[in-house]
Structure formats: structure tokens, C-alpha cells
Amino acid sequence: MKYKLISFLLLTGLVFPALLRGQAFGNHAFTFLEQGLSARAVALGSNVVAIDDGDISLALMNPSLIGRSMNNEFSLSYLKFFAGANYGLAQYAKSFNKIGNYVASIQYMDYGTFNYADSYGIRNGTFKAADYAFSLGWGRQLNDQFSIGATAKVLYSHYESYKSLGIAVDVAVSYKSESGLLLSIVASHIGTQLTSFTGQTAPLPFDMQLAMSKRLEHVPFRFSLVYDHIEKWDLSYYDAANPPGGFDPVTGAPIERTGFSKTSDLLMRHLIIGGEIYIGKNIVLRAGYNYRRRQEMAISQRRGMVGFSYGIGIRVSHFHINYARTSYHLAGSPNYFTISTSLDEFRR
């Protein structure tokens, strides 16, 4: 009864701020927080997943996964993004008998070096721009079914001489059924911008997600499903040059979606589908599909693989190496790398 009450209160705490913040859905501060972090999660099409096999790289975006199995785990992630931007993440986990399990993380997004130039295009020096987040996550297993977690973050941006500071917290709860189905509700980036570049603060990119996964009993396969942005129904973006319904071949006028077509489109923009195929004990193949990304980023005349992602996980000695590639646009597909290890393995 006590655990049911705790879970109910935590769920209430997740939903209530979502209702308050669901109205703010536009320009935000510290949008780098939305960038995928784990190569494993990115391969599955999302940045939040519900998989509780001790993978530390999944813990930053879903703190309810933080558990004793991550004790003394260390992880590094790297992404070479578009236009010379670089992303990095370092994580370390430690468990304590009385106060729970913790994961400390440092992440950055380095946008590279830019040139100063006057109105005539004459260059005179260079400057840099970067975002940083320093995080401490906590997780605790309440019983065989429920676990909870939270991550506190200090956010810092430095663009040339402009600086911004913010704080945020992610909260999550997970439930695991007797059949092995894992459900997680995660509320991300609840916080505020303390100082801004212009003196006028902006909201953080709040997101509330429902994630689930299950490894099948008689087939070496795990499916993953994420319902993104619970707090807002209509995630559609209208582009006059590329309307969702396309153009009428006779009149050339944009076709408006109605009825089931429109409803199904709005629903699919929330759903992210992924799966893992286990080949022996040391190799995992992954793939994912993000419908919303495909609708927003693909060119109607040439969609290619936009919205699809894939990757592989390999265990080599004491190291877990994960690679992912996701197609954002025909302009390019970034490569993600994550390497994790348990420091305890080197003491044996």
C-alpha cells in the first residue's frame, strides 16, 4: 500500500507540471538538452527509452533506470554533428547502501569557432560558442515492480561574450510487470533560465514521455515504443512549401487532411518505434523509426531514409561499444558512439 501511494504521488507530480507547462511550446532556452545522448537510444529512434539492463548511458534521460547494477560504471559518448559541431558526454555511477544510487554526468555541445566580421565582410578575429550541463541523477528501487528517479542539472551557455545560466530537473517512475513489460513516465527539463543573453528569459524545452519495452521470451528480440510529448496533442508543423497532405495534381492547391487521416497523422507524430535483435551474447542489432522527424525534415520529392535510425552494440572484453546512425535530412546522417565499462572488471 505504501509503495502504491508513493507511486501515485510521483505520477501526480509528473502530470501536474506538464499541464502547467503544456502551453509553452515554441522558442526555448537550452534546446541542446533535446539532443539524443546515448548511441543505443538514438538507434532506437528516441532519446528516452525504458530498458533496465544496467546500461548507464540510458540513465541521464530516464533516471528511474538508475540502479545498483550500474555501480562503478563509466561511460563516454561522442557525436560529430552538422557544421562542425561536436557533442560529448561523460558519466559515472556509484551506489550507496543507505542513500541510493547516483550517476554524475557532464555534457557539452561545442559549436566550433566563428569569425568576427564587419558589415563589409572584413574578418577580424574569432570567437567560440558552447553549451554545458552538469547533472547528478538519483534512482531507487522501491520494490520488485516500481522504481523512481530524479536528475538535477545546472545549465550554462557561453556564446562569444554572452552568457546564460539555468537549472532543471528530470523526474521519472518505472513499473515492471511480472511478464517483463517495462513502463516509464519521464518528465524532462522542468526548470528555469536564471540569466539570459538579452535579459528576457525563455522557457526550457519541457517534454513528458511514456516509454515501454519488452524482451520476448522465445525470440531474441526486444521491442521499444515511446509516446513523446504527452502534454501536447498537436505537434504538427505546417510548411506552405511542403504541406502534410501534398498538392492537388490538377489545381496545385495544398490538400488539407481531415477526419481519420488527420487524426492518425497527429497520433503518429507522438510515436517512436524501435527494436533490438540479439545475436548471441555479444552482438545486438538495432533500428528505429521516428514518424514526426520524417514528416518535418524530409523533402516530399525525395524522402530517402529520413526518420529512420539504426545501430549496433558489441561487447569486447570489458567494454560495451554502441554505434548509431540516424538520418535527420538528406544533407547528412550523424554518427553516434558510446563506450561503457565497469571499473570493477579491471580489479578482478
Q: What is the CATH number of the domain that holds 54?
A: 2.40.160.40
Residue 229 has a pLDDT of 95
Last residue of a domain, one of 226, 245, 269: 269
Residue 256 per-residue DSSP state: P
Residue 197 has a pLDDT of 86
Residue 50 has a pLDDT of 95
Residue 213 has a pLDDT of 97
Residue 344 has a pLDDT of 82
Asked whether the whole model's pTM tops 0.75, one would answer yes
In terms of domains, do 55 and 200 share one? yes
In terms of domains, do 251 and 313 share one? no
Residue 2 has a pLDDT of 47
In terms of domains, do 205 and 261 share one? no
In terms of domains, do 28 and 155 share one? yes
Residue 241 has a pLDDT of 67
In terms of domains, do 223 and 259 share one? no
Question: Which structural domain range is residue 160 located in?
Answer: 2-116+124-235+270-347
Query: 188: exposed, middle or buried (C-beta count within 10 Å: 0-12, 13-18, 19+)?
Result: buried
Residue 7 has a pLDDT of 46
Residue 155 has a pLDDT of 97
In terms of domains, do 68 and 102 share one? yes
Q: Which residues contact 8 (CB under 8 A, 6 or more apart)?
A: none
Last residue of a domain, one of 254, 269, 284: 269
Residue 242 has a pLDDT of 67
pLDDT along the chain (348 residues), means of 10: 44 44 61 90 94 94 95 94 86 91 95 87 89 96 94 95 95 95 96 89 93 94 96 81 69 76 90 96 95 82 83 94 88 88 80
CA distances from 332 to 118, 236, 322, 328, 337 (A): 31, 23, 20, 7, 16
Instruction: Name the domain count of the chain.
Output: 2
Question: What is the distance between the alpha carbons of residues 190 and 14, in angstroms, rounded to a whole number?
Answer: 10
In terms of domains, do 168 and 290 share one? yes
- How far is C-alpha 123 from the geometric centre of its chain's CA atoms? 38
